[in-house]
Chains A and B, each alone.
Chain A
Amino acid sequence: MTQFIRLFYILLSFSALALTARNAYAIDSQNLPDINPTYVSMKSIDPVRLVGYTVGDVIEREVILTVKAPYKLIETSLPIPGYEKRHKGQVIGIELKSIKHTKKVDDNSTTHHIKLAYQVFTNNIVAKNAALGPEYLNLVNLKNNQDIVKFRIPTVDIAISPIAIFGQVKIENNMSPFLGPLPLNHDKEESWLKLSLIFLILSALGLLYILGMRAWLPRMGGTFSKVYRALRKQEKSTQGLKESVALVHAGLSTTANFTVFSNNLEQFLALKPNFIGLKLELEQFFNLSRRINFEPKYLDPAANFDSDVNAQLWVIKFARRCRDCERGLSPEKLATPSMKAGL
C-alpha cells in the first residue's frame, strides 16, 4: 500500500512537472529575449478601416517578415487558428480565423509572407476597443541551438461597434434648436425646365429644317414659294418688272424641268395639271413677257397695264397664285381681271 501511494505520488509529481514544463514553454515564448533588430525587419499591410467592426466581421492583415541568417523562424511558433486570445485572462473575442504562410529563402535571409485573418466574435452595447494580436514568433540561431529569441508582431487597435443604438431615443430631447433647411417647392422651376427643353428641341428641329430645306416652314422651299418671296423684295420699277418676269420664267422652267414658252404651254399644263386653273393668267404672263423682253410695241388687249409698277404688282400676285397651285391648292377664280390696279 505504501508502495502504491509512493508510485501515485511519483506519477503525480511527473504530471505536475509535465504541466509545469508546458506552461514554462508558453511563458518562455513571451519571455524569450527579443531578437537583435538588425537581424529582422517587418512590414505589415493593415486594414484601412479601423472602426465599425461588429460580430462576424473578418479583418485581414498581412505581415512580411525578413529574417537574416543565422536566425531562422521556428514555424511551429506561428499562431494557430482558433486559438482564443485573452487579455488579462479575459477572452477578448477576437479569434484568428486562418493563416497563410509562404516564404522565400535567399542566401542570407528568408522572407515570410504571413496572411492573418481575424474574426470578431464579440459585441457590445457601446463601442469598445479591441486589438488584433500581438503575435509572438520564435527564432533560433542556427549556429547556436541554445540561442532562441522572439519577435513580437505588434497589435493593430480597432474599435468594435454595437449592432444597434442602445436604449430608447426621445426625439424631443434630441431635437436641434436650429431649423433645418426647408425643402423648396420646385414645381415652377420644373415646369420652366420642361418648357425650355421643349422650346430647345423645337428650335433645334427648326434649325435643322432651315439648314436642310432653306425654308422656315414646310412647303416654303417650293420653287414658286422662293420666287414669290424674291418678287416681293424686288424694287418696283421697270427694271424690277423685267427681273420679276425673268424670275417667274425661271420658276416655270424649274417646275417643268424644261424651258416653258408660250408654244409649249399645253405641254407644261399636261405635265403639271395643278396649274390648269392658271391657263388664262399664264397666257397673259407670256404676253407681258413678250412686251417686256422681245416686242415693246406689243400690247395685249386682255392685259393692258397702265404702268410697269402695276404690271409688276400683277406679276407678284400671279407668282403667289402659282405658289398656291404648286402647293396643291386651287387658286380662286378671277372674276374680272383688273389689270390697271394690278389686283
Chain B
Amino acid sequence: MSDRQLTDWRNHALNLESEVNKVVVGQQNPIRLITTSIFARGHVLLEGDVGVGKTTLLRAFTRGIGGGYQRIEGTIDLMPNDLVYHTYLGEDGKPHVSPGPLLMSGENLSVFFFNEINRARPQVHSLLLRVMAERSLSAFNTEHYFPHMIVFADRNQVEKEETFEIPSAARDRFMMEIPIVVPNDNDIMEALVFDTKFHNVDALVNNVKPDVLQFDELNAFSGVLQNSVDTSDTLKKYALNLWKATKAPLDYGVKVSGVDMNRLVLSGASPRGMSMMLRAARVNAWLNERTAVLPEDIHAVFHATVAHRLVFSPVYEMRRTEIAREMLNGIMNAVAAP
C-alpha cells in the first residue's frame, strides 16, 4: 500500500476522531485511544463512574465505523445463550428461534457493544473470552465467524453490588482499558449541563457522520499499517525493559508510596499484552505521521494497554487504579531509552 493510501486512511481516522469529538466533549485522549484501538483491531473496555458518557462515546464510534452493530446490557440473569439466540412463540403458535445479538449481523458484525459488562455472570464472560480472542462462535452445529468485530464494553468500577469482577484472563483480552473521567474544564462542564444538545443522547449520536470508515477493510489495512511502521533496535530494547519492569518494578527502582513492592505484583504484563501495546503504539505513530515507533508512542498507550493486565496482590486490589497509575508512571520515569 502506498504512502498515499496510508495518508488517506489517516485522514479518515482523524475525521472519525473529529466527528466523535463534536458530540463527546472534553474526552480527546480517550477518543484518540479508541481510534488507536480500532486501527490496532483491539477490544476496548471503558471504565468510569455512572453518567460520564461511556455509552455515548461508544455509540458515537460505532456509528462512525459502520457495519453491523449489536448491543447487549449486562444483567445478573443474563446467560451465555442470550448472546447467541432467543426463542419465542410465533404468531403461528409454534416455537421459533431467532439469532441473538452475536449472530444477528453475521460476518458483518463490526461492533459488539456490551454495556455494564461487570453485571454479567462469569459464564457470559467465559463465552465472551472466546469470541473476543478467536472472533468465532460455535452454535447450531455451525462455526460462526466475526472477522470485523470489535467488542466495546464498559463497566462501572464504583458500584460493587450485583456485579462480578472481570477475571484477569478476560481483562487481558481487551487491548485497552480506558478510564473516562468528567472533564475539569468549566466551560465544558457548563455545556454538558446547560446545552440542550447534550440532553438527547440519540439525537446527539446521530450527529456523527455515519460510516466514516469502511469496516470491512479495517483488518486488511491494519495489517499493512503494522508492517509499515518500523521499530528500531533501541525501541525494542526499551519495550523489553518496560515489560521486565512491569514484572519486577523494584529491579528498576520503581516504588509506590505505601505499598510493599516485594508483594505488590503477582504477575506483570503478558506477552499478549505487550504485543497489543506495540500494535497500539504503531497506530499512534501512524496517526502522528511517523514512520517508526518512538518511546512517546508507547507512552501514549502504555497506561491503557498495560494497567488492566497487571495482577496485584489481593490486598492491593481495592486501590488498583491508583497503584497501577503510580507504578506505570514510575516505570516510564525509570526506564531509559536509549
**What residues make up the interface of A, taking CB atoms closer than 8 Å to B?**
242, 245-246, 249-250, 253, 258-259, 261-263, 289-290, 293-298
A261 contacts which chain B residues (CB < 8 A)? 295-296, 299, 337
**What residues make up the interface of B, taking CB atoms closer than 8 Å to A?**
230, 232, 234-235, 290-296, 299, 332-338
B292 contacts which chain A residues (CB < 8 A)? 294-298
Do A294 and B232 have beta carbons less than 8 Å apart?
yes
A242 contacts which chain B residues (CB < 8 A)? 338
Assembled-state Cα–Cα distance A213/B16 (Å): 58
Give the distance to chain A from B154, nearest Cβ to Cβ, in Å.
28
A262 contacts which chain B residues (CB < 8 A)? 294, 296
Give the distance to chain B from A258, nearest Cβ to Cβ, in Å.
4
B235 contacts which chain A residues (CB < 8 A)? 293-294
A250 contacts which chain B residues (CB < 8 A)? 336
A253 contacts which chain B residues (CB < 8 A)? 336
Do B338 and A259 have beta carbons less than 8 Å apart?
no
A298 contacts which chain B residues (CB < 8 A)? 290-292
Assembled-state Cα–Cα distance A245/B333 (Å): 18
Do B296 and A263 have beta carbons less than 8 Å apart?
yes
Top 7 closest pairs, chain A to chain B, by CB: A258-B333, A295-B292, A293-B234, A263-B296, A246-B338, A294-B232, A259-B336
Do A259 and B333 have beta carbons less than 8 Å apart?
yes
Do A259 and B291 have beta carbons less than 8 Å apart?
no
Do A294 and B332 form a contact, CB below 8 Å, given A245-B338, A249-B338, A263-B299?
no
Assembled-state Cα–Cα distance A296/B333 (Å): 25
Assembled-state Cα–Cα distance A246/B291 (Å): 22
Assembled-state Cα–Cα distance A269/B240 (Å): 28
Do A295 and B336 have beta carbons less than 8 Å apart?
no
Give the distance to chain A from B171, nearest Cβ to Cβ, in Å.
27
Number of A-B contacts defined by CB within 8 Å: 51
B332 contacts which chain A residues (CB < 8 A)? 259
Do B337 and A259 have beta carbons less than 8 Å apart?
yes
Do A249 and B234 have beta carbons less than 8 Å apart?
no
B295 contacts which chain A residues (CB < 8 A)? 261, 294
Do B338 and A295 have beta carbons less than 8 Å apart?
no
Closest A residue by C-beta to B330:
A258
Do A293 and B337 have beta carbons less than 8 Å apart?
yes
Assembled-state Cα–Cα distance A250/B334 (Å): 11
Assembled-state Cα–Cα distance A290/B232 (Å): 10
Do A295 and B337 form a contact, CB below 8 Å, given A259-B332, A262-B296, A263-B299?
no
Closest A residue by C-beta to B300:
A263
Do A249 and B336 form a contact, CB below 8 Å, given A261-B299, A262-B296, A294-B234?
yes
Do B290 and A293 have beta carbons less than 8 Å apart?
no
Assembled-state Cα–Cα distance A36/B234 (Å): 116
Do B335 and A295 have beta carbons less than 8 Å apart?
no
Q: Which of A245, A262, A290 has the most CB of B within 10 A?
A: A290
Closest A residue by C-beta to B293:
A294
Give the distance to chain A from B292, nearest Cβ to Cβ, in Å.
4
Can you spell out 26 A-B residue pairs with CB atoms less than 8 angstroms apart?
A242-B338, A245-B338, A246-B338, A250-B336, A258-B333, A258-B334, A259-B334, A261-B295, A261-B296, A261-B299, A263-B296, A263-B299, A293-B232, A293-B234, A293-B337, A293-B338, A294-B234, A294-B292, A294-B294, A294-B295, A295-B232, A295-B294, A296-B232, A297-B291, A297-B292, A298-B292
B337 contacts which chain A residues (CB < 8 A)? 249, 259, 261, 293
B335 contacts which chain A residues (CB < 8 A)? 259
Assembled-state Cα–Cα distance A282/B155 (Å): 42
Assembled-state Cα–Cα distance A264/B335 (Å): 14
Give the distance to chain B from A7, nearest Cβ to Cβ, in Å.
133
Assembled-state Cα–Cα distance A3/B259 (Å): 141
Assembled-state Cα–Cα distance A48/B338 (Å): 89
Assembled-state Cα–Cα distance A60/B234 (Å): 99
Assembled-state Cα–Cα distance A172/B294 (Å): 104
